[in-house]
Amino acid sequence: DAKTTQPNSMESNEEEPVHLPCNHSTISGTDYIHWYRQLPSQGPEYVIHGLTSNVNNRMASLAIAEDRKSSTLILHRATLRDAAVYYCILRDPISSGSARQLTFGSGTQLTVLP
Amino acid sequence: GAVVSQHPSWVICKSGTSVKIECRSLDFQATTMFWYRQFPKQSLMLMATSNEGSKATYEQGVEKDKFLINHASLTLSTLTVTSAHPEDSSFYICSARRDYSQETQYFGPGTRLLVL
């Protein structure tokens, strides 16, 4: 299964942009890149996902490298409420096996400093 | 976005009793629902996948007779922890997906189970 690598933790100052990296060097051509985040004592929350092109939504932007072996989640202005564990997950919607599931790694703990 | 609820949000029970956790998709029909477990300081681990009207598919190492899953309707799935023991104490989280092709999974708020 394609796996992702993320830093264990990152810090950011409030009101500043945050770039959360994710490496997925063994990504397959049909893997989508998903980002979820989990606030303390809550279930995960969908953030964004993409395949090849960069994506923007109201929560964040997703920048995908041209070779798709890495991606970056961008929070344009971090707030204290953005403090969470951010998970970068690969999912293949075509696969009939475990690659179709959302498999959570350890993620990146983002701390936002006031 | 779609909303998934869980009930109860937390439960304390005695060892040996059974506990039922409900997961509901409030504003959409979920053909597939997932149950995860999360121990403190750890990531989510998928326990099982259930499709409406059919038997759940359990991940390796998850006892199907201990964790009973029922997905009787397109908006409700239940997880019953039978004969609960202290080691079953965990944070149980469900998620739902609209249809087979949908990319997004919507997660419930989780149920914290403490077995004494």
The model's confidence at residue B105, banded by pLDDT at 50, 70 and 90, is confident
Nearest residue on chain B to A87, judged by CA atoms?
B43
Helix, strand, or coil (residue B93) = strand
Q: What is the mean pLDDT of the segment spanning A35-40?
A: 95
Cross-chain Cβ contact B34/A101 below 8 Å: yes
Q: What share of chain B is helix, strand, coil (3-state, %, to 5)?
A: 5, 50, 45
Q: What is the mean pLDDT of the segment spanning B76-80?
A: 95
Sort out which chain B residues have CB atoms less than 8 A from A36's CB and list them: 107
Angle at A70 between CA A69 and CA A73, to 5 degrees: 155
CB-CB contact of B95 with B34 (8 Å): yes
The model's confidence at residue B36, banded by pLDDT at 50, 70 and 90, is very high
Distance CA(B40)–CA(B17), nearest Å, equals 22
Distance CA(A47)–CA(A34), nearest Å, equals 8
Distance CA(A20)–CA(A32), nearest Å, equals 17
Cross-chain Cβ contact A42/B110 below 8 Å: yes
Instruction: Determine the number of helices (DSSP H) and then strands (DSSP E) in chain A.
Output: 0, 9
Residue A14: CB atoms within 10 A of its CB come to 13
CB-CB contact of B74 with B29 (8 Å): yes
Cross-chain Cβ contact A107/B43 below 8 Å: yes
Min Cα–Cα distance to chain A from B105, Å? 7
For residue B99, pLDDT beyond 80: no
Cross-chain Cβ contact B45/A104 below 8 Å: yes
What pLDDT sits at residue A103?
85
Residue B14: CB atoms within 10 A of its CB come to 8
Sort out which chain B residues have CB atoms less than 8 A from A45's CB and list them: 107
What pLDDT sits at residue A98?
59
For residue A96, pLDDT beyond 80: no
- Which are the contacts of B98, defined by CB distance < 8 A and separation ≥ 6? B2, B28, B29, B30, B31, B104
For A39-86, write each residue's pLDDT tens digit: 999 999 999 999 999 999 999 999 999 999 999 999 999 999 999 999
HEC assignment per residue over B64-95: CCCEEEEEEECCEEEEEECCCCHHHCEEEEEE
Matching residue, tokens 């929560």: A59
For residue A107, pLDDT beyond 90: yes
